[in-house]
A and B are shown apart, each in its own frame.
Chain A
Amino acid sequence: MRRYLFGAAAGVAVWWILSLLINSEIILPSPMAVLGSLNEVIKSKEFYTALVSTVLKGLLSTSLVIFIGTSVGMLMGLKKGLSEALKPFVTLLQSVPVVSWLALAIFLWGIGWKGPVLLTTLSLLPVVIINTYSGVLNVDTRLIEMAKVYGVEKKKVFKYIYLGSLLPFMLASLRITLGNVWKTVLVTEFLCGDRGIGVMIAWARSYVDTPKIFALTLIGVTLAVSFERAGEGFFERVLKRWKLS
């Protein structure tokens, strides 16, 4: 902890020295200016509305990514024909640039909350699909064969063999999603949102208010770290419950 604090303090010191050397608030504002801006931001009512909006979008996108990604990945792993049919779509999803989806979202809904949720979901979905698919392929077929010999019902096989084998992959998916969802939401809000922290950054950019951009970025980072930390505790509890750690 002491080293961590020392590292953070050293980072701030370097930042401060660089801001003195560059001497331009537009390019690199000083830590003091950013703190002042942060103070102003968290005092405003607008910020809390934006925060709630961003958090809701993040949580909705995470739920969609995990639900759709896990289901599609599982189906692809269980049905060979389906996996071959869906693989081109997953590759397409992976390679289509966000701006193309952006145009589609704006034509469909204009600016609002739906566009950022769609764009975030589509950006993170392929990783979860591929991760879950690999998890299903990783299931020990000898265990499935054993269950078949003893005539164990399919529901039990799914619960104890498939889900048990998939759990580490599902947790990894959740970890990846929670780690990336916030920056993706902020970018997509910036591009096609009507409210949220990303939209506040867009406004700050229009007013060339770099300290505010830095302050809002700090809030975004805090949001990501908090959710990742909360997720870590959850992962450890689940792994312990399943005796995998």
Chain B
Amino acid sequence: MEIVLKVENLKKSYGDLLVIDRLTLELKKGESLFLFGPSGCGKTTFLKVVAGLIDNFEGKVERNFEKIGFVFQEPRLIPWLTVKENLMFVYEDEKRVQEVIDITGLRGFEDSFPRQLSGGMKQRVNLARAILSKPDLLILDEPFSSLDIHIKYRLMKDILRIKQRCKVSFLGVTHDPKEASIMANKVVVLSKRPTRILTVVNVSDTSEAEKKLIEIALENF
């Protein structure tokens, strides 16, 4: 299977503080890989390296994707632009913007300003912005961490639906095991700082009861 991202011996420090220590992993096309680890272990730093926001690191990062979408932990919407203007800011194709507004359930909110939206709706705009360019890789940086449980499951459902529809690869981080097991095919468990890989868990290993509960939540919440 085609490899979208290959990271070899990634090492990243801030001054004397070693954050990531020789991290090696690869992400295949269509795969959904989540990094699961404690707060402050350098998960977001890793995503920023992949997204090209951090370029002073040791090791090798091979990016075999053209377009990237990034669902940030907090929505990062421009306060003085409407939902539609926020989307047009990153992708100036009105037809595609309208299409994504429909996909993400934002119809009727196009002319609203971020301050007029709930936390869940803001995250929807964050997601809409991330999928506008039909990315090959969608990065998810704990996008559900500030949401209440109902909205969280609804947004997860939307993201999984988008994954099915667009055949996009996912690279996400979380510190919630449940979230990791719902969203990922493969979960990479990380240690405390300096971050190393402790183990890799395939999500098919999730217990039957848990799977059933998750299915119910995704269907009904």
B51 touches A242 (CB 8 A): no
Instruction: Select the stretch in A88-96, A143-151, A186-194, A211-219 that faces chain B.
Output: A143-151
Interface size class of A (residues with CB under 8 A): 10 to 19
Min Cβ gap A235→B in Å is: 15
Instruction: Select the stretch in B29-37, B66-74, B192-200, B203-211 that faces chain A.
Output: B66-74
Question: Residues 33-55 of chain B: 1 if any A CB is under 8 Å from the residue's CB, otherwise 0?
Answer: 00000000000000000011100
Min Cβ gap A203→B in Å is: 50
B72 touches A161 (CB 8 A): no
B72 touches which one: A146, A156, A164 (CB < 8 A)? A146
Q: A148-B53, A152-B90, A156-B89 are in contact. Are A143 and B76 (CB under 8 A)?
A: yes
- In angstroms, Cα B133 to Cα A160, docked, is 20
Q: Which residues of A contact B68 (CB under 8 A)?
A: 149
Interface centre among B72, B76, B80 (most CB of A within 10 A): B80
Main secondary structure of the interface of A (DSSP, over half): helix
Min Cβ gap A4→B in Å is: 34
A149 touches B80 (CB 8 A): no
Q: A152-B90, A156-B89, A160-B89 are in contact. Are A146 and B76 (CB under 8 A)?
A: yes
Q: Which residues of B contact A145 (CB under 8 A)?
A: 53, 76
A244 touches B80 (CB 8 A): yes
| A243 interface hit (Cβ, 8 Å) | yes
| B103 interface hit (Cβ, 8 Å) | no
- In angstroms, Cα B70 to Cα A165, docked, is 23
- In angstroms, Cα B77 to Cα A243, docked, is 14
Q: Which residues of B contact A143 (CB under 8 A)?
A: 76, 78
| B162 interface hit (Cβ, 8 Å) | no
Q: In A141-171, which residues have CB < 8 Å from any B CB?
A: 142-143, 145-150, 152, 156, 160-161, 164
B89 touches A152 (CB 8 A): yes
A160 touches B51 (CB 8 A): no
Q: A160-B81, A160-B89 are in contact. Are A243 and B113 (CB under 8 A)?
A: yes
Main secondary structure of the interface of B (DSSP, over half): loop
Question: Residues 163-190 of chain B: 1 if any A CB is under 8 Å from the residue's CB, otherwise 0?
Answer: 0000000000000000000000000000
Q: Which residues of A contact B129 (CB under 8 A)?
A: 150
Q: Which residues of B contact A242 (CB under 8 A)?
A: 80
Q: Which residues of B contact A160 (CB under 8 A)?
A: 78, 81, 89
A142 touches B78 (CB 8 A): no
A142 touches B76 (CB 8 A): yes
B78 touches A149 (CB 8 A): no
Min Cβ gap A40→B in Å is: 52
Question: Residues 119-152 of chain A: 1 if any B CB is under 8 Å from the residue's CB, otherwise 0?
Answer: 0000000000000000000000011011111101
27 A-B residue pairs with Cβ-Cβ distance under 8 Å, sorted by A, are A142-B72, A142-B76, A145-B53, A146-B72, A146-B90, A147-B89, A147-B90, A148-B52, A148-B53, A149-B52, A149-B53, A149-B68, A150-B90, A150-B129, A150-B133, A152-B89, A152-B90, A156-B89, A160-B89, A161-B78, A164-B78, A164-B79, A164-B80, A164-B81, A242-B80, A243-B80, A243-B113
What 10 A-B pairs have minimum CB-CB distances, sorted nearest first? A150-B90, A146-B76, A149-B70, A164-B80, A142-B76, A242-B80, A149-B51, A243-B80, A152-B90, A160-B89
B interface list, Cβ under 8 A from A:
51-53, 68, 70, 72, 74, 76, 78-81, 89-91, 113, 129, 133
A150-B70, A164-B80 are known; give 18 further A-B pairs, CB within 8 A: A142-B72, A142-B74, A142-B76, A143-B76, A146-B76, A146-B90, A147-B89, A147-B90, A149-B52, A149-B70, A150-B91, A150-B133, A156-B89, A160-B78, A164-B78, A164-B79, A242-B80, A243-B113
